[in-house]
Amino acid sequence: MGFIVATSSLAAPQHTKAGMPQEPLVFRIIPQDSTIASGAKFVTLDVELLNTTRHVVRLSPSGMGAQIGFSNRACSLTEPSRTQITSRDPWPEFRGKIISIPPGGTYRRIMKLDLDPEFFSPGIYTVTVMFSGTYGSEPRKDVFTGNLESNQVLFEIAEPTDEEAKAPATRAH
């Protein structure tokens, strides 16, 4: 699983021994389940922001999930790939709130992303989450205002197995 990193205009980048700048924030998502049953209403992700600097980074958590991109990977050469980009307010309760991530610290949240039944049929999907530092808060000099893109992760929407399909009918009798 790879990481996508972004720089903050608030913290001067640290330098590695080779002289290359080290990025101050790492934004990572991890699906709680890699396979989701067909007809599921949402996919659940663990979301993390890691501060790699020696300074506190302040930000508004309401910016996580400002944009979400899904892509369906074609299973054969005859099937087209499909994409869906959504923008929404995932955590309105954080609007205007600021958190501080200490040096080397991590901010973690669980995020449930809605699955549109018109788009999500059985198949393999990727998801990427965007963070917008200007989303949901008034601009402030000491708050991170950059944009971050998470790593891209795979998950599968699967039809129920024969045993799973029979189980509810058996329980009903």
Q: For the domain that residue 52 is a member of, what is the CATH number?
A: 2.60.40.3880
CA 173/CA 169 separation, integer angstroms: 7
Residue ranges making up the domain that contains 167: 4-172
Judge contact between 67 and 132, C-beta under 8 A: yes
CA 126/CA 71 separation, integer angstroms: 5
Digit-coded pLDDT (tens) for 81-123: 788 887 765 556 676 788 999 999 999 999 999 999 889 988 8
Number of folded domains in the chain?
1
- Record the pTM: 0.73
Type of residue found at 154? L
CA 6/CA 9 separation, integer angstroms: 10
Digit-coded pLDDT (tens) for 27-47: 999 999 999 999 999 999 999
What is the number of other CB atoms lying within 10 angstroms of the CB of residue 6?
Answer: 16
What would the two tokens of residue 169 be? 């009918």
CA 113/CA 94 separation, integer angstroms: 17
What would the two tokens of residue 5 be? 């990193």
Residues 6+ apart with CB under 8 A from 34: 154, 155, 156
